């Protein structure tokens, strides 16, 4: 159990598709625990294995500590609503930056547990946003790719400025 270093934007790792998990063992369970600890330390509400440099299809989401964290292995969207919804999004790989992203308001996903059991789950609101955001990341789609070119360029410039300021301090 450890807090792992987070891959920072614009690393090419963030644009690579993660591989399907086929081994459901103690190594995978340990990775899930590390992802949770890393996400909490960041802080964030969602993280994927690619965020820590591991190209495997696993994500951990925790909207609040009371409800607790949930781990999704090999998640995929199998249905989404036609109703759009906008929500501010950001990334542990691009801290300090957020923009509104439009996505379907509700989704149904299919995923596996850490034991390999296949389940389906429906979500709406913030949970639907998080699931779509993290599944995008597992597919090699960094969240800024969902922005208009103008908003994407503005977000990247703002992040570069923040990074330069942090380096000086």
**Domain of 119, in residue numbers:** 12-168
Looking at residue 57, which CATH number applies to its domain? 3.90.45.10
pLDDT at 169: 72
Q: Which two tokens stand for residue 117?
A: 């059991």
pLDDT at 26: 98
**Count: domains in the chain:** 1
What are the b/e assignments for 126-139, b being 16+ CB within 10 Å?
Answer: ebbbbbbbbbbbbe
pLDDT at 126: 96
Strand order in the sheet with 46-48: 46-48, 58-61, 70-80, 106-112, 118-124
The CA distance from 25 to 1, in Å, is 15
For residue 45, the SS3 value is: coil
pLDDT at 108: 98
pLDDT at 168: 82
Please give the model's pTM, rounded to 2 decimal places: 0.96
Local confidence pLDDT in tens for the 169 residues of the chain: 799 999 999 999 999 999 999 999 999 999 999 999 999 999 999 999 999 999 999 999 999 999 999 999 999 999 999 999 999 999 999 999 999 999 999 999 999 999 999 999 999 999 999 999 999 999 999 999 999 999 999 999 999 999 999 888 7
pLDDT at 78: 98
pLDDT at 154: 97
Residue 2, domain member (yes or no): no
Residue 116, domain member (yes or no): yes
pLDDT at 167: 83
For residue 117, the SS3 value is: coil
Residue 1, domain member (yes or no): no
The CA distance from 149 to 26, in Å, is 42
Residue 4, domain member (yes or no): no
- Whole-angstrom CA distances from 48 to 14, 52, 55, 75 are 10, 7, 9, 11
- Whole-angstrom CA distances from 99 to 41, 106, 113, 147, 152 are 22, 20, 31, 8, 9
Residue 80, domain member (yes or no): yes
Active site residues: 134
Residue 119, domain member (yes or no): yes
The CA distance from 45 to 69, in Å, is 9
Residue 56, domain member (yes or no): yes
Residue 3, domain member (yes or no): no
């Amino acid at each position: 159990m450890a807090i792992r270093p987070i891959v920072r934007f614009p690393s090419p790792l963030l644009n690579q598709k993660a591989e399907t998990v086929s081994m459901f063992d103690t190594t995978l369970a340990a990775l899930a625990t590390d992802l949770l600890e890393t996400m909490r330390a960041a802080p964030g509400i969602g993280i994927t294995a690619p965020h820590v440099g591991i190209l495997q299809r696993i994500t951990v989401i925790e909207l609040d500590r009371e409800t607790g964290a949930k781990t999704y292995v090999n998640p995929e969207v199998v249905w989404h609503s036609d109703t759009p919804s906008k929500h501010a999004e950001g990334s542990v790989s691009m801290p300090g930056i957020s923009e509104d992203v439009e996505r379907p308001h509700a989704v149904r996903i299919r995923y596996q547990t850490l034991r390999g059991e296949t389940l389906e789950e429906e979500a709406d609101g913030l949970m639907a946003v998080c699931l779509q955001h993290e599944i995008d990341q597992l597919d090699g789609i960094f969240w800024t790719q969902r922005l208009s070119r103008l908003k994407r360029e503005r977000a990247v410039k703002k992040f570069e400025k923040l990074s330069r300021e942090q380096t000086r301090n």
